[in-house]
Amino acid sequence: MRLSTRITAVIALTAIAALAAAYLALRILPNAAAWALAALLAAPVVLWSAHAIIARIAELQADLGNALRATRDGDYGLRLVVRGDREIAELKRLYNELADAVRADRHDIHNKEILLDTVLQRTPMAMVLLNAGDRVIYSNATARELLAAGDRIDGRLLAGILASVDSSLRDILATRNDALFHAGDETFHITQRMFRVHTQQHRLILLERLTPELRRQEVNVWKKAIRLINHEINNSIAPISSLFHSARRAQNSPRHRHRLDEIYDLIEERLTFLREFLESYAQFARLPEPHKERTPWKVIFDTVQTIYPFRVEGQPDLEAGLDRAQMQQVVINLVKNAHESGSPAEEILVSVQRAGTDCVLRVLDRGRGMTEDVMRQALVAFYTTKPSGTGLGLALCNEVIEAHGGRMRLAPREGGGTVVTCWVPA
């Protein structure tokens, strides 16, 4: 019998019993006494009915309460015995089906999490996930090896982990921007993204070792450079050969002898172009060891400002052990790139500041900036996005900075543009 039918029957029987008791009492006793007797006779029936209803509800509440508490604690194995009134039995059956479905879904999710974690742990890219308090809540094996020599870092604060890593990496993570940087003989690309999980702010840090990739790219770029050099030499040799043939004919012909000066000028022009073209490549290949002298950065900046305008900030009177000519070339190349990026001259800023034992040189612009792909290859020799560029500017700067015992980093500038940061020992 349905629970609702039983409750209705109990209520009806209670009402009938009460009416019967009242009728009998009125036939025998006065009105007041009759009503008192009717109530006394009906009370046991009412109490029995209430007890029966409450017992059924209490049983259902106990069963469902235990089941829901188990579900809350992640235990989906508890099953209710399907028995009793049809409505209660149906309710228990539905709970069992729901628990089975949730258990199957959680098992599937757990297997996918294991698969995902296996993939992430084996990826060569370092991955660190931080909560709003900059505490590590997930890291893969590459990240632990790179940041803590394989030690566990989950649960630790990022600041404590970074205390023993390269200072340039600490500086990049403080900006929370993407960047390209060097640490020792390695080159890394860092990507940082902010997102929310359950309204809580999280930060994902990805560190990719680019050194093997850059070496492959260097081979390809060297091949491209060889083809380019061969092309330019042939483009110069062919017209020079033709001009020499024309000069020989003009020399043997009195009518065309007046063209000799013009022909020789053209030959000289092509030879000058070829010499300058080859010199730009040779300069990169034969960079000498820096001859360091104590030099104020202001001397470097004053010389470059006569060629390209820019603003100076920071501590330009700081001194460092510099090869003046080489460092002037670095600043010239970086400021020239800033102008060629489309940045207004007044937005090009060169600053130098002391940071521990280093002088930190920064060149900032408001130009077009670099895409992530360009930034990955920017320091590869002969790589360029300029139609007439040689691809040696930034590579030469990096060589000079490293020859001084420093390191170099490229990063987007907040608000647009690019920031080039160089650490040079003071």
Q: For position 214, what pLDDT does the model report?
A: 55
In a domain, 116, yes or no: no
Closest CA to 218 of 383, 7, 414, 42: 383
Q: For position 1, what pLDDT does the model report?
A: 46
CATH for 172: 3.30.450.20
* Residue corresponding to tokens 């209430």: 50
Model's pTM, two decimal places? 0.46
Tell me 391's DSSP state: S
Residue type, 311: R
CATH for 413: 3.30.565.10
Q: For position 213, what pLDDT does the model report?
A: 57
Same domain, 281 and 329: no
| Distance in angstroms (rounded) separating the CA atoms of residues 114 and 117 | 5
What's the average pLDDT block by block, 10 residues per block, for the chain (426 residues)? 52 58 54 53 59 66 74 74 73 81 83 80 85 90 84 88 78 76 72 85 85 59 61 66 72 70 74 69 65 91 89 92 89 90 91 90 90 70 57 78 87 88 90
CA 36 to chain centre: 83
Name the pairing type of β-strands 407-412 and 179-183: antiparallel
Same domain, 419 and 303: yes
Same domain, 230 and 330: no
Same domain, 217 and 305: no
| Distance in angstroms (rounded) separating the CA atoms of residues 135 and 147 | 14
Residue type, 102: V
Residue 371 half-sphere exposure toward CB, CA atoms < 13 A: 4
Angle of helix 31-72 relative to helix 3-28, nearest 10 degrees, comes to 160
* Tokens encoding 16: 């009938």
In a domain, 163, yes or no: yes
| Distance in angstroms (rounded) separating the CA atoms of residues 417 and 116 | 36
Residue 196 phi/psi, 5-degree rounding, is -115, 140
Same domain, 260 and 142: no
Same domain, 304 and 266: no
Residues of the domain holding 45: 3-106
Same domain, 138 and 157: yes
Residue 393 phi/psi, 5-degree rounding, is -60, -60
Same domain, 304 and 346: yes
Tell me 168's DSSP state: H
Q: Identify the domain boundary among 253, 285, 317.
A: 285
E strands within 319-417?
A: 319-322, 349-355, 358-364, 407-412
In a domain, 117, yes or no: no
Same domain, 151 and 230: no
Q: For position 189, what pLDDT does the model report?
A: 80
Q: What is the C-alpha radius of gyration for the chain, rounded to an integer number of angstroms? A: 42
Q: For position 20, what pLDDT does the model report?
A: 59
Residue type, 189: H
